[in-house]
């Protein structure tokens, strides 16, 4: 007969009762080419707001029409194409992962996604492309530029201060350009025509300027010449051609095709995050130690109360079963990083599972945490509950994890004292959803 181990009296009473299977920015005078002195574009401008990339910000390269490559190239970050299929990605010698949701390549330090991959990749890519288009529209729609038609469309040799720049023509760079400002400064470049960088030309950063804060919105075709170097987030309405040996520190987000020829593309370094930060509608409770920029957030409040785990007595063939290991749940299915896949597998094998469905009800990307993801929340409970607007965890109820014990039991986390126990799937408990960032 199954028993709960070392459960305090309060928890025993609870489980005994429940155990049943039934701003617009301020603007200033516009500055044109005649007002530029000492090769520096400077005015009393106020920083524009950053362009929100949404889900598109997860990719080093995102294209609607495909990515062609003359190898070898070196891509650091994920790559995606949609609505076109994986066949539109050439020159990477792709290897499809056993999950069918992404591919890999020796030339890409990340995952490669295509609309032809297995679910949930197609729907996630659709959202990313919509966010890319929204980001382009946002950047293009900014008004009252600080600089209008600077250099008559040729900014070669200039040093560019933070601000909103607009060109009603093509933009040309034939000698090195410097983007200078602080780490929090933002640049938005609006280009109505084509954008061309000559061979061996560099865009350099100075004063702490960050590629992640530089946005190039280009209506026409983009050409980065041979061995040139580009900095920033490129939002292109048409094609992006990166010629032989050119390098990019930023992102290439194109609404048509991207062509590469022995290039290096590196997604920009992100700002490190900390436990308790507010990101993507939740509060950070775990930060990936490999990069200190990605991790997991938990929702600000419970997404369900007094709900069963569900699927009692059902053999969920694809969901890992996790037993006690030295008194604790350990291994595949239990550890940090398994919550999302557990949730997807539960819903695949048992559609409508109450706890998993409740977690996903918050929207795309939210899922039921694994048992040790819940334990990580407990470890940082004091920090999380100190965040303004955060609804405290219940001390009177357990929280369901997506970690299964067997056909009849699943793992449960208590926040009053940190206990982890296997409990009948028929017991009603709480749900706190999480998502990755």
Res 3 pLDDT > 60: no
DSSP secondary-structure letter at 267? Answer: P
Res 398 pLDDT > 60: yes
Q: What size, in residues, is the chain?
A: 437
Mean pLDDT of the chain: 88
Are the beta carbons of 125 and 102 closer than 8 angstroms? no
Are the beta carbons of 322 and 405 closer than 8 angstroms? yes
Three-state secondary structure along 78-145?
EEEECCCCHHHEECCCCEECCCCCCEEECCEEEEEEECCCCCCHHHHHHHHHHHHHHHHHHHHCCCCC
398/18 Cα distance (integer angstroms): 11
Q: Which residue spans within 219-277 are E strands per DSSP? A: 222-224, 229-236, 240-242, 247-254, 257-261, 264-266
Helix boundaries (H) for 170-270? none
Residue 232: which pLDDT band, with cuts at 50, 70 and 90?
very high
Are the beta carbons of 303 and 433 closer than 8 angstroms? yes
- What does the pLDDT look like over 348-376, one tens digit per residue? 999 999 999 999 999 888 999 999 999 99
DSSP conformation letters of 310-375: --TT---TTSPB--EETTEE-STTTSTT-HHHHHHHHHHHSTT-HHHHHHHTT-TT-BPPPHHHHH
If one compares 297 and 5, the residue with the highest pLDDT of the two is 297
Residue 19: which pLDDT band, with cuts at 50, 70 and 90?
very low
pLDDT of residue 12: 34
Contacts with 341 (C-beta within 8 Å, 6 or more apart), sequence order: none
If one compares 219 and 330, the residue with the highest pLDDT of the two is 219
422/400 Cα distance (integer angstroms): 10
Are the beta carbons of 273 and 292 closer than 8 angstroms? yes
pLDDT of residue 303: 94
pTM score, whole prediction: 0.59
346/343 Cα distance (integer angstroms): 5
Whether omega for the bond prior to residue 83 falls within 30 degrees of 0, making it cis, is yes
pLDDT of residue 21: 55
- What does the pLDDT look like over 83-113, one tens digit per residue? 999 999 999 999 999 999 999 999 999 999 9
């Amino acid at each position: 007969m199954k028993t709960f181990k070392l459960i305090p009296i309060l928890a025993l009473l609870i489980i005994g009762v429940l155990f049943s299977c039934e701003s617009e920015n301020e603007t200033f005078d516009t500055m044109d080419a005649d007002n530029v002195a000492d090769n520096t574009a400077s005015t009393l401008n106020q920083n524009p707001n950053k362009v929100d990339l949404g889900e598109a910000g997860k990719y080093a390269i995102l294209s609607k029409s495909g990515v062609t490559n003359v190898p070898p190239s070196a891509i650091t970050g994920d790559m995606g194409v949609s609505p076109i299929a994986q066949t539109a990605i050439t020159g990477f010698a792709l290897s499809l992962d056993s999950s069918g949701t992404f591919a890999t390549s020796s030339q890409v330090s990340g995952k490669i996604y295509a609309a032809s991959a297995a679910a949930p990749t197609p729907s996630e890519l659709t959202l990313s492309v919509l966010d890319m288009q929204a980001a382009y529209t946002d950047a293009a729609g900014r008004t009252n530029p600080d600089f209008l038609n600077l250099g008559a469309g040729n900014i070669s040799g200039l040093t560019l201060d933070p601000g909103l720049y607009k060109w009603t023509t093509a933009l040309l760079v034939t000698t090195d350009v410097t983007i200078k400002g602080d780490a929090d400064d933002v640049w938005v470049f609006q280009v109505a025509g084509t954008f061309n960088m000559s061979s061996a030309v560099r865009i350099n950063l100075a004063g702490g300027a960050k590629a992640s804060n530089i946005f190039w919105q280009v209506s026409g075709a983009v050409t980065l010449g041979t061995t040139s170097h580009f900095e920033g987030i490129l939002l292109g309405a048409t094609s992006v051609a990166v010629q032989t040996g050119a390098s990019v520190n930023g992102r290439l987000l194109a609404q048509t095709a991207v062509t590469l020829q022995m290039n290096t593309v590196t997604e920009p370094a992100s700002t490190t995050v900390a436990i308790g930060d507010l990101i993507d509608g939740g509060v950070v409770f775990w930060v990936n130690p490999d990069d200190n920029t990605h991790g997991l957030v938990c929702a600000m409040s419970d997404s369900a109360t007094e709900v069963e785990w569900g699927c009692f007595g059902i053999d969920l063939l694809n969901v890992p079963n996790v037993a006690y290991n030295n008194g604790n749940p350990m291994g595949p299915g239990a550890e940090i990083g398994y919550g999302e896949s557990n949730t997807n597998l539960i819903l695949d094998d048992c559609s409508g599972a109450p706890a998993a469905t409740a977690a996903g009800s918050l929207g795309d990307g939210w899922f039921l945490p694994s048992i040790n993801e819940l334990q990580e929340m407990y470890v940082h409970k004091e920090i999380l509950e100190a965040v303004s607007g955060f609804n405290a965890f219940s001390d009177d109820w357990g929280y369901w994890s997506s970690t299964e014990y067997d056909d009849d039991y699943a793992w449960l986390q208590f926040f009053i004292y940190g206990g982890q126990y296997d409990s009948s799937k028929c017991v009603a408990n709480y749900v706190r959803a999480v998502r990755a960032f």
